[in-house]
Structure 1
Amino acid sequence: MTENVTGCNCCEELTEQEMLEQLDGLIADYLDKPGGLIPALQIAQSRFGYLSESILKQISSRFNKSYSEVASVVGFYSFFSTVPRGRYVVRVCLGTACYVRGGKEVLSSLKKELGIDVGETTEDRQFSLDVGRCYGACGLAPVIMINDDVHQRIKPTRLGELLKAYADGQIEEPCTTDEMGDAG
């Protein structure tokens, strides 16, 4: 059985086999470079939205590493995900300044608004919810990030309209296949 998965969630729907076929081309430049594994994993996750078991197996094979070694690298870094993520990853800062200035209330409001808990994704795969420990905007606390967009001085009462703007496409993330950023 072949399941359909969505790449970066704004690109075409791909089967698992199509993802594996694209993977070699995406990581080819990193195969012989020292330290190339992590950039290859980042590129694969950026393109496909997460790192499935079959993707990890193919990467481990191409890098001549054991599956357990590659899986342990993925497990060590919190920015890698082995489960499908939402099109928009919402990260709530719970560093000291954000926590003191209402980050906990923002998180509670997001859980209620999205109907999910931390580490989960909405059924429509629009949003995933995570927490972080500092986004470097302490003077603007509380802060959330939605993908790479930083939103400051967040009020729990305004979260609904912010999420709706993303869901309705009023705020759109660019879709690239070579982006090195954290996709979740």
Structure 2
Amino acid sequence: MLRTYAGLQLSPKVQVVVPIEQVVEEIARSRREICPIPGVPEAILGVVNIAGKLLWVIDLADFLTEVLGLTPRSPSRGDELTLVVIRKDPRTEPHPDEEESTVTPFACVVCDRLVTLTLNSTHVTPIPDPWRPLLRPLFSGLIWISPPSDAASRRFPVGLLQVSALFDALSRHSSLTAGELR
């Protein structure tokens, strides 16, 4: 079965994919437009007003680094940010006649524009045993990507991010000061 994914380049060395139906939009915002919230983890940059709604802005590369216990990277100093607004799987949202979902989408910082990939489900491979305890809570599998034909490097793995697990992880990292990401 073919499925379309959004490739999110979170940092020069970190890329993940999410099902395209969970991506709402890609927008550019200045760091000055993000209102910081005291008492939240550093990876949560604050909130931004997008079309009259306040959305949490997450540096997803930093958040994944923290959750997975990896070495922190140097923070980006640029003023202009590219944000990708992500929501939970729309198939789990209530029917239009039902009460509106209480889960608000969030915006994550990416370092490059969104790319789309259409892949067969056979391209998704399970997470290898040595990585499974670390990656399994947030990733459902790996997709092996081939670099452009002029590149000398080999294929590299990209994690298939489980957006609902990410929402759960973000909720667990919220503080009493900031409230939940809902």
Q: Which has the higher contact order (CA 8 A, sep 6+)?
A: 2
Q: Is TM-score (shorter-chain normalized) higher than 0.5?
A: no
More helix by share: 1
Larger CA Rg, structure 1 vs 2: 1
So what's the TM-score if we normalise by structure 1? 0.20
More strand by share: 2
So what's the TM-score if we normalise by structure 2? 0.20
